[in-house]
């Protein structure tokens, strides 16, 4: 599955901010705590998505190298 870098970042940011917002809601945090939770969640989601994209691409590349005829 090929995913562009900008798509991975956008999906990671969306997932991270949604998770951060949910955590802030469940813990009944007010403005500044909620903003920090959402911002940290978004940044973490973006980083996880980029690392995942890199890992999947690397595994696919190594997989094609092993199966190629020599």
7 pLDDT band (50/70/90 cuts)?
A: confident
How does pLDDT run across 26-37, given as a tens digit for each residue? 999 999 999 999
Q: Could you tell me the residue ranges of all domains in the chain?
A: 5-63
Confidence at residue 53, expressed as pLDDT on a 0 to 100 scale: 83
Rounded CA-CA distance 37/48 in Å is: 16
- Model-level pTM? 0.71
Quote the tokens at residue 1: 């599955």
Q: Which long-range contacts (CB under 8 A, 24 or more apart) does 19-22 make?
A: 19/45
């Amino acid at each position: 599955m090929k995913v562009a870098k900008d798509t991975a970042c956008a999906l990671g940011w969306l997932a991270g901010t949604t998770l951060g917002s949910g955590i802030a809601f469940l813990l009944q945090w007010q403005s500044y705590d909620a903003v920090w939770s959402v911002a940290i969640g978004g940044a973490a989601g973006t980083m996880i998505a980029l690392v995942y994209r890199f890992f999947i691409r690397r595994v696919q590349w190594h997989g094609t190298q092993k199966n190629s005829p020599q």
